[in-house]
Structure 1
Amino acid sequence: MDTLLLRLVVLLGCLGWAHSLSCGSAGNWTIISSQSALAQYANCTQFLGSVSINGSDVSDLSPLHSLTSVQLAVEITNTKLFNLQGLSSLQSIGDKFFIHSNPSMAALDGLAVQVVTGGIFIYDLPVLKSISSLKFLNYINPNGSAQYPFGLSIYRNPALSSLDGLQNLKTIGNSFFLGDLPLISDFTGLPANITTVNFTLSSLSTVASFKAFPPLAAVPGTSGVAVTISSMSVSTLDGLVVPTISNLTISSNSQLTSIAALKSSTLNGPAVTITQNNYLCDYSGINTTALAIRGGIINIANNCGSSTVGSVLGPTPTGLLSLPSSGRSTVPGFFVALVASLTVYFATAHL
C-alpha cells in the first residue's frame, strides 16, 4: 500500500512538472525557424524571454497547444500559416505581439490571448480578412504604464474589411493606429471607449464619416490625446469626440470641409499642424488663441485651394481666432520645420 501511494505521488509530481515546463531564456530571443524546430517545444507551457516564429515552412502551430504565457515579446512572421490555430491556450504576453508578413494568413482564428502588455502590431498581411478572434483580448498595457509607448497598431492589410473583434478591449495602450486599410468603410467593432496618448488614422480611403466612433479620452496625468488625421476621405469630423487634445495634426484630407466637431475640444498643444486640406477654408472648429499665448507651435498652411504657404487661391479661410484674417501662420520657418518633424514622428511612432 505504501509503495502504491509513493508511486502515485511520484507520478503526480511528474505530471505537475510536465504541466509547467518553461522554455526559452529570460531576457533573450528564441528563434524558431522551421516546423521541425517548432516541434521541439511541444510541452512548453511558458516561454521565458521572447520568441520569434520565423520560418518559411512553418504551417502548423499545434506543437504550442500547451503554451499559456510568454514573458516578453512574440513575433510570427514569414510563415505559411493560414491562421493561428494551436495558440488557443496562450493567455498573456508580457511585452509586444507582432503578427506580420505572413502571405497566406487570412484570419487570426485560434488566438485567445487576453492580455498583451507592450502592444499589438498587425501589418503587411496581404490576404487577412478577419481579426474577429481578437474578441478574447481584454487588455493592452492594463496598468497604463508609460514604459510601453505603444498600443494597438493595424496597418497595411489591404484585404481587411472589418474591425470586428476589438469590441471587448477595456484598455488599448498608449497609442492607437489604423492605417492603409482600403476596405475598412466604418468603425463598427471598436470598443465603447478608447483611452490613449497617441491616436492616428491614416489612409482609410473608404471611411465616409466618424459615425459610431467611440469617444477618445486622455490617459490620466497627460495633457490630452495627440490626434493625427491624414489622407482620409471624410468631409467633416462630426462624430469625433475628444475632450482634451495635446498635439493636433490634420493633413492631406482631400474632401475635408469642416472641423467644427472640435469646438468642444480643449486644445493644449504644444503643436497644431493643419496642412494640405484642399477644401478646408473654415477653421472655426478650433481656437488656438490660448495655445498661441502659451508659445505653442502653429503651422496652418496650404489649405483652401492654396498651393503655397501664405497665399489664398480659394475663399478666405475664416474662424481661426489667433491668426491673421488670411488664416495663414506667421510662425518662423524653423518652427514650421519642427512641426513637420513632429508630424512625421507621430505618424510613424507606431511602426
Structure 2
Amino acid sequence: MRMMTVVPLFTLACSASADLPGGRLAGAKVTDTGGGEASCADAPEVTFTDVIVAAGAGPCFTSNRVRVVGDMLLTDDQWEPSELTCVCAIEGSLYINDNPALTSGLPFSNLEELTGNLYIQDNPLLTTLEGLHNVPSSGGAVYLTELPALVDMNGLRSLTSAQYELRIEETAASTVGLERFASVGLLHVEDYDGTDLAGLTGLSSLNVLQIDDCPNLTRIDGLTALTHLDTARIQDNDALIDLTGLSALTEVDGRLTVAGNDALVDFTGLEALREVGNLDVRNNPALSALTGLSALSDLNRLTLQDSPLVTSLTGLGPLTTVNHLTLSRLDGLTSLQGIEGVTRIRRDLSLRFLDGLTDLSGLEALAQVEGLSIEGCGGLESLDGLDALSTVTGELYLWSNDALERLDGAEALRTVGELTVIEHDVLVDVTALHGLDEVTDGLEIRGNASLATADAEALRDAIGTISGGITILNNAP
C-alpha cells in the first residue's frame, strides 16, 4: 500500500547541473554557510521549494550539521547518501519510498529530530533500517510498509514515540528493535507476516489497537504493558491462538472487536479485563468457550455470533446489568448459563437462530428488559427461564421458532410495550400471557399455523388494557 497523499517539498533525485559542482540547489535558502561543527539546535537551516541533489552537491555542502525545513522524499534510488549524512533535524516529514534497488545504508545516522511523519514504504530489497538509529520520536506517523526483505526493526532502536500512528504492514520483519517505543495514538498491524509482536514490550500508552489480516501471527505477547485502550480490533488473523499479550489490559472504553480469527479457542489472556464498552465477538470458528472473561463486570453491549462451537456462556464475569445483549447463529449453544446474574438489560436482548436452545434457563434473574426478541430458534420448546421477568418496556417479539408449542415460563409478565407473536408452526397455547395487565403499543398475533384463532382472541380479551393497534390474522381456524 502506498500513502502518497502529501506532496513533499524536498525531492532528492540524481540530476547533474552546472550551477554548482556536480549539482544545484533550486530555490533553496541557506541561513548560514559558515560550515563547521554545530549543535543541532544551532545548525544552519536549509529552506527550499525543491532541491535536486547529485554527487558533490546537497544540503551537506553548507555545514557538517544541517536543519532541513520542509519535507524530504527519497525515491527511485536517485539520491546520493553522502549528501545527507549531515542532516540532524527535519522540520517536516521524511519519506523513503519506492526505491527498488535500496538494500541498506540509510544516510541519517545524525538525524535526532523529526517533527513530522516517517514513511518507509515499498522498498522491496531493504534489509535494515540502520541509519535511522538516532531518531527519538516522530511528530506525526511512522509507516513501515511493503518491506518484504526487512529482517528486523533494530534500526529504530532509539524511537520512543509517534504522535499519531505506527503502521506495520506487508512485511515479515521482527519487531525486535522497538523495545523503547512507549507511546502512540494508533497501532495498526495489517498483512504482517511475522509470528509475534515481541519487540513492543515497552508500549504502555496507546489509544487504538488494530491487528488485521496477519496470517502467521500466533501470539500478540509483546503488548503486555498495555492497561487501557479506547478501542481495539483483532480481526482475520488465521493463526492466532490466544490473547495472552493483553494480560495487563483492564479497560477498553469503546468497542473491542474479536472477529474472524480461525484458530482462537477462548479468551485466555484477558483475565484482567474488567470494563468494556462494546464487546463484539463474531465469526471465530474454533471458539468454544468464553474462558478469560471472568473479571468482566462492566459491559455496555455484548454481541456474540457466528461461532458454532460455543456451547455455553460460562466464563463471563459477574455481570448484573448490561445495555444490549445479542446472541446470534451459535449452533452449539445449548444453555444460557453464564449470564444467570443479569437482573436488568437496559435496552435489548436479542436471541437469534440459536437452534440448540430448548428453553431460556440462565435468565432466571432477569426482571426487566426494554426489548426482547427471540427469532428463528429452531429447538426452543418453551420460555422457561423467564420466571422473574415482569416488564418489557419496548417490544416482545417472537418470530418463527419452529419447535415452540407453549409460552410457559412467561407467566410473570405484567407489562409489555408491543407484543408480537408471528409465524410459528406448532404453537398451540398462549395462556401463559393471560396475566398481562397492559400492552401499551399494539398487539399482533399472525401466521401461527397451529394456534386457534379463538385462543388468540382469548389472549386479547385476557389482557387488562391494550393501547395501539390489534392484529389477529392468518392463524388456525
Same fold (TM over 0.5): yes
In 1, Cα distance between the equivalents of 2:297 and 2:332?
Answer: 27
- 2:197 is aligned with 1:61: yes
Distance 1:288 1:189, change over 3 A: closer
Distance in 1 (alpha carbons) for counterparts of 2:421 and 2:357: 19
Please give the root-mean-square deviation of Cα atoms over the aligned residues, in Å: 3.2
SS of equivalent residue, structure 2 residue 269:
helix
Closer, same or farther in 2 for the Cα pair 1:62/1:92, shift >3 Å?
Answer: same
SS in 1 for 2:303: strand
The percent of aligned pairs where both chains have the same amino acid is 21
How far the C-alpha of 1:320 sits from its partner, in A, is 9.9
CA contact (8 A) 1:106 1:127 kept: yes
1:237 maps to which of 345, 350, 360: 360
Which residue number corresponds to residue 102 of structure 1? 237
Per-residue deviation, 1:207: 1.9
Residue 31 of structure 1 aligns with which residue? 167
Q: Deviations 1:247-278 (Å, cap 9, x if unpaired)?
A: 11100000111113224213333222210101
CA contact (8 A) 2:174 2:194 kept: no
Of 305, 309, 329, the match for 1:179: 305
* Distance in 1 of aligned mates of 2:159 and 2:167: 18
Residue pair 2:371, 2:395 contacting (<8 A) in 1 also: yes
Unaligned runs of 5+ in 2: 1-135, 138-157, 428-444, 463-467, 473-477
Return the offset for 1:236.
Answer: 0.6
TM-score normalised according to structure 1 size: 0.72
Of the three residues 387, 400, 420, the one matched with 1:276 is: 400
**Residue pair 1:78, 1:102 contacting (<8 A) in 2 also:** yes
- What stretches of structure 1 of length at least 5 have no aligned partner? 1-16, 142-150, 334-351
Higher helix share: 1
The structure in which a higher percent of residues are strand is 2
| Secondary structure of 1:106 counterpart | coil
Q: Conserved in 1, the CA contact under 8 Å of 2:388 and 2:412?
A: no
In the TM superposition, 1:141-156 aligns within 5 A as 141=277, 151-156=278-283
The 3 A distance-change label for structure 1 pair 111 and 281 is: same
Partner of 2:385: 261
Give the structure 2 partner of residue 11 of structure 1: none
The number of equivalent residue pairs is 289
- What secondary structure, in the 3-state scheme, does the structure 1 residue paired with 2:196 have? coil
Quick check: 1:226 aligned with 2:348? Answer: yes
1:158 is matched with: 285
**Equivalents in 2 of 1:310, 1:161: separation in Å?**
37
1:168 pairs with 2:305: no
- Give, as a single letter, the amino acid of the residue that structure 1 aligns with 2:372: L
Greater relative contact order, per chain length (Cα 8 Å cut-off, separation 6+): 1
Query: Which among 252, 277, 294 is matched to residue 376 of structure 2?
Result: 252
CA distance in structure 2 between the partners assigned to 1:323 and 1:51 by the alignment: 57
Query: Aligned partners of 1:316 and 1:211: how far apart in 2?
Result: 34
| Residues 175-184 or 244-253, more deviating | 175-184
Distance 1:69 1:320 in 2: 62
Deviation sequence 1:217-273 (CA, Å, 0-9, x none): 447xxxx24100111121111221322110111000001111132242133332222
Structure of greater Rg: 2
Aligned to 2:209: 74
CA distance in 2: counterparts of 1:320 and 1:235, whole angstroms = 27
Contact 1:257/1:281, CA 8 A, preserved across alignment: yes
